């Protein structure tokens, strides 16, 4: 489903080049569960951003579902991102002024879905994730674990092909983190492709396939 | 994204930043209110002047001796020509013209009137019975100047209400005599109070036959001749006929100026409309100030909401959508500000109308709608830069910050 060919990403910072990714090749099948581990600054987030079309490779190609997405315009990329990718972040990134339900609804709103359809989908997902009672609460009224559940629900609402999670447990205690991983694994068990960045070797070890990044290169890809 | 959703989302973000939003609404509304109030003042002045002229009568023609169109008085003098006098006979000749209802010769002089040892400096009009219709005068007691040959210097007069009271107190002045210069005039009527009219206080006025005024003050020419046509439609042909007739009588020279209410008031009208536009324009400048404020505040908003914008992109918002969201905020803000401003502005003109009833300060429709449109245009125009900046944000970078 996902194929990176010789992907490099170079940042120019104050006249100096930082090679965040160097000639990465990676193939991910639909439904896979992959963990990416590696020291800080080794290029994990950069790779995930490229997979999620939040960033473009400096060189190399990225094929998603048989389509070379590096050639797409920003507008076209945002459409692909909306339909195929769900993001989960370390810092949740919920919109503070919106309720849990409204946060989950946001991708549907951006996609132009109609209110009736939206409400039904949102409630179904919140119920499934055990946070239906929190639907009207704002993020600052939720616990960390609840916030991440809301964020995962939001990532799932468009029924994407893949979930990309960048240290989703980085801001949670071990117990809550475990629950969140459990939820993600459940989704994977139902066929969702899952790419998980983590610092935690135990959590990372649960994935069926492990990738290690080091200084912009990938081992085990 | 559905339009109501765009509006709703924009509204929620504005709600989320109350102070900022109120500031921008305030700036915009001040601009719009300024446009509304200032143009209503200009329009009030225009209507005031127009009303003044219309109170003169819309079917009025005024003839003055001398040509106003010559390039200053100097040109006429330099060529050695003296304008023909405008005479009582000229005025009488106009009677022949079809479409004329009233003709009144007029002289106006400041002079002293005395009776019973009391003296007053007053405006003294020399005219004929028909000035009553042209000025719309009525008598409180006695009668007005009787219709008679205007060349007849009869020794009678009509007193304004105030001058009658000041000279005779509560006693009736009818049949009494007043002294003007070295002549005595019998009082035959007292005017009903009228107040200020065409720049003269009618209540101070003493009116005598025009021939008497010419003898008394040794005048050869009339100050002017007032003509009232039967209808407004008669004004242009009558005006042309007056010009032709007086040219003939003055040896082929165009040496009178013929004014119509319409011509004068439309000249004033043009000036005051221009003034109103200028006032609106000046007020509109304050909108530019509001615009710059909006831009700065929006730029701050973009900076503060960097991670939110990054998130929206991660959730699939296109750069176009992001721009639209910011535009929507600007349009909402400036529309609210604009509506508020026009309400405040209308209230302001209402207060002006209350304080100065003579000035009908109504903001013209073009100013109200123009002010609103300008406010929204300003909001959109000055949010282009912030909206672009938001749309161009690198989402990866935006999300890296917490
Ligand atoms: N926008 C950026 N500008 C400049 N340098 C960057 C940027 N993003 C990442 N980097 C650099 O690229 C390298 C890889 O970063 P990142 O992918 O965030 O690492 P990780 O997620 O593994 O900690 C680091 O050296 C980081 O400083
Ligand atoms: Mg990282």
Which of B314, B318, B391, B394 to probe by mutation at the A interface, max A CB count within 10 Å? B314
Instruction: Specify if A65 maps to a domain.
Output: no
Mean pLDDT across B303-321? 92
**Collapsing DSSP states into helix, strand and coil, what is residue A159?**
coil
For residue B218, count CB atoms less than 10 angstroms from its CB and return exposed for 0-12, middle for 13-18, buried for 19 or more.
exposed
What is the per-residue pLDDT across A55-68, written as a single tens digit (0 to 9) for each? 999 999 999 999 99
Pocket residue to mutate for ligand 1, from A17, A41, A89, most atoms within 8 A of Cβ? A41
| Ligand 1 atom with least separation from CA of A21 | 14
Say how many CB pairs under 8 Å bridge A and B.
Answer: 74
pLDDT at B49 over 90: no
Contact B374, B284 (CB under 8 A): yes
**Global pTM value:** 0.71
Taking the C-alpha atoms of residue B293 and residue B290, their distance in angstroms, rounded to an integer, is 5
Taking the C-alpha atoms of residue B265 and residue B268, their distance in angstroms, rounded to an integer, is 5
Ligand nearest to the CA of A218: 1
End-to-end CA distance of chain A: 14
Q: Determine the length of chain B.
A: 402
Taking the C-alpha atoms of residue A186 and residue A30, their distance in angstroms, rounded to an integer, is 15
| Spacing, Cα A44 to ligand 2 middle (Å) | 6
Contact A148, A180 (CB under 8 A): yes
Q: Does A12 touch chain B (CB under 8 A)?
A: no
What is the per-residue pLDDT across A73-130, written as a single tens digit (0 to 9) for each? 999 999 999 999 999 999 999 999 999 999 999 999 999 999 999 999 999 999 999 9
B residues 382-401 closer than 8 Å to A (CB): 394-396, 399-400
A101: closest CA among A71, A121, A76? A121
Q: B316 vs A55: CB contact, 8 Å cut-off?
A: no
What is the per-residue pLDDT across B178-206, written as a single tens digit (0 to 9) for each? 999 889 999 999 999 988 877 788 999 99
**Collapsing DSSP states into helix, strand and coil, what is residue B57?**
coil
Residue B191, pLDDT score: 95
Taking the C-alpha atoms of residue A93 and residue A100, their distance in angstroms, rounded to an integer, is 12
Contact B229, B130 (CB under 8 A): no
For residue A5, count CB atoms less than 10 angstroms from its CB and return exposed for 0-12, middle for 13-18, buried for 19 or more.
middle
List all residues 6 or more positions away from A53 whose beta carbon is below 8 Å from its beta carbon.
A69, A77, A78, A80, A81, A85
**Collapsing DSSP states into helix, strand and coil, what is residue A211?**
strand
Instruction: Specify if A85 maps to a domain.
Output: yes
The full set of domain ranges for chain B reads 3-52+266-400, 93-232
Q: Which residues of B touch A52 (CB under 8 A)?
A: 314
Instruction: Specify if A28 maps to a domain.
Output: no
Taking the C-alpha atoms of residue A12 and residue B10, their distance in angstroms, rounded to an integer, is 35
CATH of the domain at A121: 3.40.50.300
Q: B317 vs A78: CB contact, 8 Å cut-off?
A: yes
Ligand 1: residue whose CA is nearest its atom 24: A41
What is the per-residue pLDDT across B230-247, written as a single tens digit (0 to 9) for each? 988 899 999 999 999 999
* Structural domain span for residue A212: 33-44+73-220
**Collapsing DSSP states into helix, strand and coil, what is residue A220?**
coil
Least confident among B7-11, B73-77, B100-104: B73-77
What is the per-residue pLDDT across A190-207, written as a single tens digit (0 to 9) for each? 999 999 999 888 888 999
Token pair listed for B326: 């910011």
| Domain count within chain A | 1
Contact B326, B379 (CB under 8 A): no
Q: B2 vs A110: CB contact, 8 Å cut-off?
A: no
Taking the C-alpha atoms of residue B340 and residue B346, their distance in angstroms, rounded to an integer, is 10
Q: How close, in Å, is residue A74 to chain B by CA atoms?
A: 7
Chain Cα centroid distance, residue B225: 26
Q: Which residues of A touch B16 (CB under 8 A)?
A: 96-97
Q: Which residues of B touch A114 (CB under 8 A)?
A: 2
| Ligand 1 atom with least separation from CA of A13 | 4
Contact B180, B113 (CB under 8 A): yes
Contact B6, B325 (CB under 8 A): yes
Instruction: Specify if A206 maps to a domain.
Output: yes
Q: Which residues of B touch A138 (CB under 8 A)?
A: none
Ligand nearest to the CA of A9: 1
Instruction: For residue B370, give Cα distances in angstroms to B328, B349, B373.
Output: 20, 17, 5
Instruction: Specify if A170 maps to a domain.
Output: yes
| Spacing, Cα A105 to ligand 1 middle (Å) | 31
What is the per-residue pLDDT across B9-36, written as a single tens digit (0 to 9) for each? 998 888 888 888 998 899 899 999 999 9
For residue A156, count CB atoms less than 10 angstroms from its CB and return exposed for 0-12, middle for 13-18, buried for 19 or more.
buried
| Spacing, Cα A123 to ligand 1 middle (Å) | 37
Instruction: Specify if A145 maps to a domain.
Output: yes
What is the per-residue pLDDT across A173-192, written as a single tens digit (0 to 9) for each? 999 999 999 999 999 999 99
Contact A214, A39 (CB under 8 A): yes
Q: Does A11 touch chain B (CB under 8 A)?
A: no
Spell out the alpha helix ranges (H) of A28-143.
44-51, 74-84, 100-111, 115-128
pLDDT category, B401, cuts 50, 70, 90?
Answer: low
Q: B399 vs A89: CB contact, 8 Å cut-off?
A: yes
Summary mean pLDDT of chain A: 94
Q: Which residues of A touch B396 (CB under 8 A)?
A: 45-46, 49, 54-55
Instruction: Specify if A64 maps to a domain.
Output: no
* Nearest CB neighbour to A98, from listed B12, B317, B320: B12
Taking only Cα atoms into account, the Rg of chain A, rounded to an integer number of angstroms, comes to 17
Q: If DSSP states are collapsed to H, E and C, what string results for B92-129? A: HHHHHCCCEEEEEEEEEEEEEEEECCEEEEEEEEEECC
């Amino acid at each position: 489903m996902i194929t990176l060919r010789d992907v490099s990403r170079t940042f120019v910072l104050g006249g100096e080049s930082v090679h965040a990714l160097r000639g990465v090749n990676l193939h991910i099948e639909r439904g896979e569960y992959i963990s990416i581990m590696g020291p800080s600054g080794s290029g994990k987030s950069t790779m995930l951003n490229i997979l999620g079309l939040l960033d473009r490779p400096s060189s190399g190609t990225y094929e998603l579902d048989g389509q070379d997405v590096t050639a797409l315009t920003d507008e076209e990329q945002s459409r692909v991102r909306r339909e195929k990718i769900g993001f989960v972040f370390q810092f949740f990134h919920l919109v503070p002024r919106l309720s849990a339900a409204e946060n989950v609804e946001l991708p549907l709103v951006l996609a132009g879905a109609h209110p009736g359809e939206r409400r039904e989908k949102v409630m179904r997902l919140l119920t499934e994730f055990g946070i239906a009672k929190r639907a009207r609460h704002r993020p600052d009224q939720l616990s960390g674990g609840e916030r991440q559940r809301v964020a995962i629900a939001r990532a799932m609402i468009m029924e994407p092909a893949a979930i990309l999670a960048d240290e989703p447990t980085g801001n949670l205690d071990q117990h809550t983190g475990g629950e969140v991983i459990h939820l993600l694994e459940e989704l994977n068990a139902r066929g969702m492709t899952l790419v998980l960045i983590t610092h935690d070797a135990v959590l990372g070890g649960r994935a069926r396939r492990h990738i290690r990044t080091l200084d912009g290169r990938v081992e085990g890809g | 994204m559905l339009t109501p959703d765009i509006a709703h989302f924009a509204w929620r973000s504005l709600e989320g930043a109350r102070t900022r939003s109120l500031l921008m609404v305030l700036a915009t509304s001040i601009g719009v209110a300024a446009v509304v109030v200032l143009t209503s003042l200009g329009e009030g002045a225009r209507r005031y002047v127009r009303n003044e002229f219309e109170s003169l009568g819309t079917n009025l023609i005024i003839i003055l001796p001398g040509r106003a169109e010559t390039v200053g008085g100097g040109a006429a003098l330099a060529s050695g020509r003296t304008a023909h006098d405008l005479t009582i006979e000229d005025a009488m000749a106009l009677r022949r013209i079809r479409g004329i209802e009233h003709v009144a010769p007029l002289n106006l002089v400041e002079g002293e009137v005395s009776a019973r040892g009391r003296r007053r400096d007053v405006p003294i009009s020399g005219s004929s019975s028909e000035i009553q219709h042209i000025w719309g005068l009525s008598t409180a007691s006695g009668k007005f100047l009787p219709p008679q040959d205007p060349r007849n210097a009869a020794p009678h007069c009509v007193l304004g209400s105030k001058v009658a009271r000041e000279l005779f107190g509560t006693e009736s002045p009818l049949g009494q005599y007043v002294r003007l210069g070295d002549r005595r005039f019998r009082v035959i009527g007292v005017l009903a109070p009228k107040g200020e009219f065409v720049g003269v206080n009618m209540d101070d006025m003493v009116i005598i036959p025009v021939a008497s005024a010419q003898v008394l003050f040794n005048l050869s020419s009339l100050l002017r001749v007032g003509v009232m046509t039967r209808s407004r439609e008669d004004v242009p042909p009558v005006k042309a006929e007056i010009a032709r007739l007086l040219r003939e009588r003055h040896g082929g020279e165009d040496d009178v100026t013929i004014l119509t209410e319409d011509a004068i008031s439309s000249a004033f009208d043009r000036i005051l409309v221009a003034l109103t536009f200028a006032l609106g324009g000046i007020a509109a400048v304050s909108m530019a100030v509001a615009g710059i404020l909006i831009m700065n505040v929006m730029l701050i908003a973009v900076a503060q909401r960097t991670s939110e914008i990054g998130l929206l992109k991660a959730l699939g918002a296109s750069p176009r959508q992001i721009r639209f969201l910011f535009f929507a905020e600007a349009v909402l803000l400036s529309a609210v500000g604009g509506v508020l401003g026009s309400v405040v502005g209308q209230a302001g003109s209402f207060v002006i109308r209350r304080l100065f009833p003579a000035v009908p300060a109504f903001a013209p429709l073009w100013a109200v709608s123009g002010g609103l449109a300008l406010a929204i245009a300003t909001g959109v125009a000055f949010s282009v830069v912030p909206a672009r900046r938001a749309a161009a944000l690198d989402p990866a970078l935006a999300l890296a910050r917490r």
